[in-house]
Amino acid sequence: MSDSIRLKWLLSESDIRAGTKAETLPLLSVSISWGVRRREATDTTTRAAAEDLSNYKICRAGDLVINRMRAFQGALGIAPEDGIVSPDYAVLRVSPRIDTRWLEYFLASRSTVATMASLVRGIGGTEAGNVRTPRLNIADLLSMTAPLVSAGEQSIIADYLDHETACIDTLIEEQQRLIEMLSERRVATVAETLDGCERTQVRRLVNHDRPMTYGILQCGEPVDGGVVYIGPSDIQGEGLSPDRDALRTTAPEIASAYKRSILKSGDVVVSIGPAYGKVAVVSDDLTGANLTQDTVRVALRPDLVDTRFFVWALLSRQTAEYWDYQIMGATFRRLNLGTLARTPIPLPAIQEQRRIAAYLDEQTAKIDSLIAETERFIDLARERRSALITAAVTGQIDVREAA
């Protein structure tokens, strides 16, 4: 498959505006994950019904639609029906000599995506994802080359890839369902273990010498050497980010703002909004760190509650349901100190707490290991899918023999 042809001989740009047809044609969108499809009413990017869509572009079933800002990430596809698309998208008519399935596979292949990435016009580098206002110029796209493949061979390749990728996609979906089941099992394990225990409120377990407090920014004098600060994004799983350098700022004008909510080893950090409900324990090496906004410090009484048990109690389904109920209908969905203080959690004897915490640590670690293994399998399957498409459309494998 050494001969090639420029895409300009296979594709031609179409720029027909919708005008009054915008009222009758469906609105389509382009995604890296699913190609071209109708934009659902629940999509966050859906335009208001009253907004003027007359300047949108018309595409026909079988047209190639490209999101020029994300083309280098694979945001393109064949329109399944007539519709209208964003005026910033590119619409291209496909030569009747071309099997649109083969074309879609070719444009999604690694080599083609890499070439498109090199042609993106913008500031920065696509490898770091920091190109500002990136665009793939259609003239650059049309200058690219594709393998010169007969219509019959295109259909054979497309049929082969339809079958093989469908098998891989089915396998990936099964593994994703497994992850959902394992995740639910993890939640259920915690909930079932803590169910039936007598409960008390969080406020009764707090060290009164160090009451619960928000991570509030408070300007102060410049701090030499920077400060370590912890925020909601640093809470991962039931722990804190292992990247300690990411928790430090050396800019004096920033460092001087973090002069409140000093943490000690064993303190519990809770995110309160908008991504509320994440919980972690402060480790020895983060003693003296500061707390940012949207977080709360809870210093516990060690004679009443085991720290790991307390974390599992806050991460339980029962606590999540209580919090959801307390903030139901609120304009800003976030916790506050009062809600956190009143939160009911189980409180068996301290030795029983330690036994339960150890059990949950062990059981959830097993489940987490299975989830991680399944995620690795999915990554390998996606890698296999991508490699298979590239090999088939570039002639590295003879699909007639492989079929």
In tens, the pLDDT along 311-352 reads 999 999 999 999 999 987 777 788 889 999 999 999 999 999
Please state, in angstroms and rounded to a whole number, the distance separating the CA atoms of residues 182 and 370. 8
Of 7 and 292, the structure prediction assigns the larger pLDDT to: 7
Q: Is the pLDDT of residue 223 over 70?
A: no
* 257 band by pLDDT with thresholds 50, 70 and 90: low
Please state, in angstroms and rounded to a whole number, the distance separating the CA atoms of residues 232 and 217. 14
pLDDT > 70 fraction of the chain, expressed in percent and rounded: 85
Averaged pLDDT, 388-392: 94
- 178, with CB counted inside 10 A (0-12, 13-18, 19+), is middle
Strands, DSSP E only, in 141-226?
145-147, 199-201, 213-214
Question: What residues are paired with 271 via a beta bridge?
Answer: 295
* 0.85 exceeded by pTM: no
Opening angle at CA 82, ends 81 and 84, nearest 5: 120
- In terms of average pLDDT, the best of 37-46, 214-223, 346-355 is 346-355
Opening angle at CA 359, ends 355 and 362, nearest 5: 140
Please state, in angstroms and rounded to a whole number, the distance separating the CA atoms of residues 15 and 89. 10
- Contact assessment for residue 214 and residue 293, using Cβ atoms and an 8 Å cutoff: yes
pLDDT given at position 284: 87
pLDDT given at position 107: 92
pLDDT given at position 237: 73
The DSSP code for 48 is P
The verdict on whether omega for the bond into residue 134 sits within 30 degrees of 0, i.e. cis, is no
Task: Choose the weakest-confidence range: 91-95, 120-124, 198-202.
Answer: 120-124
* 395 band by pLDDT with thresholds 50, 70 and 90: confident
Pairing mode, if any, of strands 121-123 and 28-31? unpaired
pLDDT given at position 52: 79
Helix (H) or strand (E) holding 142: helix 138-143
pLDDT given at position 44: 46
pLDDT given at position 42: 46
**Average pLDDT of the chain, as a whole number:** 85
pLDDT given at position 129: 47
Tokens of 176: 């994703």
Q: Is the pLDDT of residue 66 over 80?
A: yes
Tokens of 240: 């804190």
Tokens of 162: 């339809």
pLDDT given at position 203: 96
Averaged pLDDT, 184-188: 96
pLDDT tens figures, 147-171: 988 999 999 999 999 999 999 999 9
Contacts of 336 (CB under 8 A, 6+ apart): 272
Please state, in angstroms and rounded to a whole number, the distance separating the CA atoms of residues 253 and 151. 65
Centre a 10 Å sphere on the Cβ of residue 316 and count the other Cβ atoms it contains: 21
Q: Is the pLDDT of residue 77 over 50?
A: yes
Q: Is the pLDDT of residue 391 over 90?
A: yes
